[in-house]
Copies of this chain bind each other. A is one copy, B any other.
């Protein structure tokens, strides 16, 4: 089968002809319908510091996809050949304290398909049955490829408890854009967004943010206060990883507000704990991955009920063979979600 592989510990990738995976008794083999490219895949391709410390080549990467089951292991009872599925690619150990108490998504020994184990940028991918999520046919394969990433947004927005609240989303990459849509669907009264890229600000407008701020031109916290009677927003969803945005986010937040941290930061950030956290009784909530499978159920309900329309975020599609072109595009920053078709 065709697959995209990191062959050795250096920048680049290779389109290879690999063996079809051999499944065990609890696995299913899935014929990949669509996959989508995450920022992490760009890092792996470019071989940044994080990739170098984590990835053990050779590795088939990719961790966002959907497909059709083409083979099942002998212990698999709840899934059948022909089923339309996606999968949670964070593989919990199921024995640590977090797993034993239902918090699989922060497993102490988590492995990730496409990072620690072979992933989905291939014609077929092998997944243990416990990781599968059945998808209704009303959800297109293009949407299906985005569920991992959309799940990040659904999880982050859920943690922010945005219902009836004003929300600022700092950073309008794909997860930030999804978050605008999800925040509205989950009952935020007004959603403001900020970025510095004209392309992403344009996308934020398409996502129907109530207001989009150019953080390179205005002080976002000042603008937010004007729109909230001087109080600041109830919730900030930090999706940029920018230390400037993070520092200003605390100013944009009202007393006793909630800041959900999701965007990965390049380096440590200096915070004024007294003014920004203690005196204001700010609540900060770290956010990682998606809840297994609470987030998935919520996401599917949002999609099936028609509360969530993510068409506009899917900006490009490529065949798997054009992975190089797709990655080049993503590196420019001028794309939403980019779909691959094996």
Which A residues lie at the B interface, using CB under 8 A?
Answer: 78, 94-95, 97-98, 100-104, 106, 108, 130, 158, 161-164, 166, 185-190, 210, 229, 231, 246, 254-256, 261-262, 264-265, 268-274, 277-288, 291, 293-294, 297-298, 301-302, 305, 307
Most interface-central of A164, A264, A269, A291 (chain B CB within 10 A):
A164
**Could you tell me if B272 and A271 are in contact, using CB atoms closer than 8 angstroms?**
no
Residues of B within 8 A of A158 (CB): 164
Which chain B residue shows the least CB distance to A101?
Answer: B294
**Could you tell me if A231 and B270 are in contact, using CB atoms closer than 8 angstroms?**
no
Residues of B within 8 A of A273 (CB): 246, 261, 265, 268-269, 286
The complex places the Cα of A269 from the Cα of B272 at a distance, in Å, of 7
Residues of B within 8 A of A188 (CB): 187
**Could you tell me if A297 and B255 are in contact, using CB atoms closer than 8 angstroms?**
no
**Could you tell me if B302 and A164 are in contact, using CB atoms closer than 8 angstroms?**
yes
**Could you tell me if B283 and A288 are in contact, using CB atoms closer than 8 angstroms?**
no
**Could you tell me if A301 and B271 are in contact, using CB atoms closer than 8 angstroms?**
no
**Could you tell me if A255 and B301 are in contact, using CB atoms closer than 8 angstroms?**
no
Residues of B within 8 A of A103 (CB): 102, 255-256
8 further contact pairs, Cβ within 8 A, besides A103-B255, A162-B187, A270-B270: A97-B231, A97-B254, A163-B163, A166-B301, A246-B273, A268-B273, A279-B288, A283-B284
